[in-house]
Amino acid sequence: MKKFLTICMAAACALCVSGQAKKPTLMVMPAEVWCFENGYTSTYNMQGKQTTVPDYERAYQQNSDLYNATTKIGELMAERGFPIKDMHATIRDVNRSAVENEMTTSRTSGATLAETPLEKLMSRAKGDILVELSWKLNQVGPKRSVTYNLRGIDAYTNKQIAAAQGTGPQSFTAEVPVLLEEAVIENMDNFLSQLMAHFDDLLENGREVTINLNVFDNGSDLTFESEFGGEELTDIIDNWMAENTVQHRYSLSDAGETHLGFEQVRIPLYRENGMPMDTRNFAGNLRKFLQASPYNIKSKLITKGLGRVDLILGEK
């Protein structure tokens, strides 16, 4: 009897831990192809180049099927315990914020902040995974069905990490959310299992980001070959990366006198206080390290999307 009670208590504890396991934060959004096919795009100037991108705000304002469909998919995921970021609400939040600047420049080099509208949106939302949804309405006589496509995209690397597609049963209903629910419900658990497997890998091996370092041309003679205590600045930064990345995983892909390029930098998902760690937080720690004695190097930190930052040394 005692052994039986012990087994029961162990099982209960395991279930409790499993229920409290961290899950990725998801944001359900229309796929780019859906926006282009339905005419929800806008063109803007990005560093002198005309770029056409999805206009998510107008899509949500003018297409009630989109709003209801993404809400329904988000509801199905939330029922399975996945935290959901509301894209429409986040868009409104971004638009209300007075601190959203169109351009950030350095007083010395004129370096610009190059972010697409989606990158600005994701920088505010700080979701882990984007869930892209597209669908096509099929009609045979009075009956309708939906052919759908779901893609899970790592918000930091833009890599596809999960997928599901299919066609739902025919129905006389004209409501897209109901048709979508009937179509995706069969594959939803498998799709979420793929997302969870990717998130588990991030927990174990860290999130993959890119960090570039440059030097302001301000006459200070600071380069990555400058020495501090007999050690070159490149080696000092390289050692810091080795000590602070998850399992020492990163790649110094480009090293020169005025530029260092770190790719596949694996950063922890969470800070010591339990708050999420993003690329800017991680690079900010490097910035503080270099600003302290004996280096005393000031720097400017520029965010270029969730998964990339530029740290320019020499001044703010």
Res 2 pLDDT > 80:
no
pLDDT number for residue 9: 40
Res 3 pLDDT > 50:
no
Res 265 pLDDT > 70:
yes
| Range 139-163 burial, b when 16+ CB lie within 10 A, else e | eeeeebbbebbbbbbbbbbeeebbe
Distant-in-sequence, close-in-space partners of 30: CB < 8 Å, separation ≥ 6 = 40, 54, 56, 59, 66, 70, 132, 133, 134
- Return the closest-CA partner of residue 67 out of 42, 43, 89: 89
pLDDT number for residue 50: 85
Which amino acid type is present at position 253? S
pTM here is 0.80
Percent of the chain with pLDDT over 90: 66
Q: Report the chain's mean pLDDT, rounded to a whole number.
A: 85
Average confidence (pLDDT) over 168-177: 87
Give the tokens for residue 273: 């206080």
- Return the closest-CA partner of residue 223 out of 259, 194, 198, 192: 259
pLDDT number for residue 117: 66
pLDDT one-digit tens code per residue, 74-95: 999 999 999 999 998 888 887 7
pLDDT number for residue 1: 43
pLDDT one-digit tens code per residue, 111-159: 444 556 666 676 666 778 999 999 999 999 889 999 999 999 999 999 9
Percent of the chain with pLDDT over 70: 83
